[in-house]
Structure 1
Amino acid sequence: MPHDLTPEAPEPAGADLHWRALEGLYASAPINHMFRSSLEILGEGLSRITFVAEPDCFHAAGAAHGTIYFKMLDDAAFYAANTLVTDRFLLTTSFNLHLSKPIKGGAVVAEGRWVSGRRRVLVAESRLVDEEGDEVARGTGTFMRSRIALSGLPGYAGAAA
């Protein structure tokens, strides 16, 4: 009697299912089709976005425009915070940026980490690291629960199914 020695991959459950659905939500957002980026939820309160800074996002002086810093820092912090909220989409209520080095192109990583809050308002921070390993920016945001159910959003619902 033959035995299959290849273990079956377990079905995602609980938190892991929510995290994969958040990754699907990120991938489905129209704004994210404009950039070469991807989200990975690393665990509760932790996210990583990889991004390629290309000349089409540069300002006139040849480096990434500040909107790119904001987008990547906000997204990383947002998704780190939303790992703790399984029913509602969060909204950014404030975000502080500290830019320390121009991004001249190449691979950039945004790392997000939840800091505090679990009920109505959550705080998370993020940092951007360039391909040389230098931190180029840092940010802190506050996020609040919206009335928008995650389960009603196509990118989330499709990944959670």
Structure 2
Amino acid sequence: MTPPDAPVAGEAETAHFRALESLYAAAPINRLFDSRLEIPGPGIARIHFTLDERHFHAAGAVHGTSYFKMLDDAAFYACNSLVSDRFLLTTAFNLLLTRPLRSGPVVAEGRWISGKRRVYVGDARLVDAEGEEAARGTGTFMRSQIPLSGLPGYRAA
């Protein structure tokens, strides 16, 4: 897939990616997770997580809420990397959980799939420390009326 005509380019594009990474780091929910967002290019996002027993359900593996958060965030930021003026909102997300996760590092790899104006589609997968895929998800994200520039944490470099 070819990303839509990006409204940002060159240094402005890089500044947008760094500002989104800053926005992610500033979100209150992320105080609950040891995680870091990386946007290496348009339509791509990676979130590096470290999971531990705080994220476990009663049977000793990572609870599904953590799977959802990691997948949703990666797909969301992959799509929002293509939109420089507005915050996107998740409107739907489907999950496929294939392996239990335990303590340790996990990478959520997100990518833009389609959409160029109002609604974007992205997918993501979770990869554990052994390189095995543990889950996959697909989401739809809609442009909101919320300007990125007005959000605490969105700071262009």
Q: Same fold (TM over 0.5)?
A: yes
Q: What's the CA shift for 1:49?
A: 0.2
**Percent of counterpart pairs with the same letter?**
67
Structure 1 residue 13: deviation in Å?
2.0
1:2-38 Cα shifts (integer Å, max 9, x gaps): xxxxxxxxxx821000000000000000000111000
d(CA) in 1 for partners of 2:111, 2:11: 22
Query: Counterpart amino acid of 1:15?
Result: E
- 2:96 alignment counterpart: 98
Q: Could you say which residue in structure 2 is the equivalent of 1:130?
A: 128
Q: Which runs of 4+ in 1 moved over 2 A?
A: none
Output aligned runs, 1:38-53, within 5 Å: 38-53=36-51
- The Cα offsets for residues 55-106 of structure 1, whole Å up to 9 and x where unpaired, read as 0010000000000000000000000000110000000000000000000110
RMSD value, Cα: 0.9
Which of 149, 157, 160 aligns to 2:156? It is 160
Query: Which sections of structure 2, spanning at least 5 residues, go unmatched?
Result: 1-9
Q: Give the corresponding residue for 2:61.
A: 63
TM (norm. structure 1) is 0.90
Instruction: Give the match for residue 145 of structure 2.
Output: 147
Q: Which amino acid is the alignment partner of residue 152 of structure 1?
A: G
Report the secondary structure of 1:132's partner residue. Answer: coil
Counterpart for residue 7 of structure 2: none
**Native 8 Å contact 1:85 1:118 kept in 2:** no
Equivalent positions of 1:74-93 (< 5 A) are: 74-93=72-91
Aligned partner of 1:4 in structure 2 is: none
Letter in 1 for 2:76: F
1:35 aligns to what? 33
Q: What letter corresponds to residue 85 of structure 2 in structure 1?
A: D
Give the Cα separation in 2 of the matches to 1:110 and 1:155.
22
- Say how many residue pairs are matched: 148
Secondary structure of the 2:153 match is: helix
CA distance in 2, matches of 1:104, 1:122: 31
TM-superposed deviation, 1:122: 0.2
Report which of the two structures shows the higher radius of gyration computed on alpha carbons.
1
Q: Secondary structure at the match of 1:108?
A: strand
Match of 1:111 in 2: 109
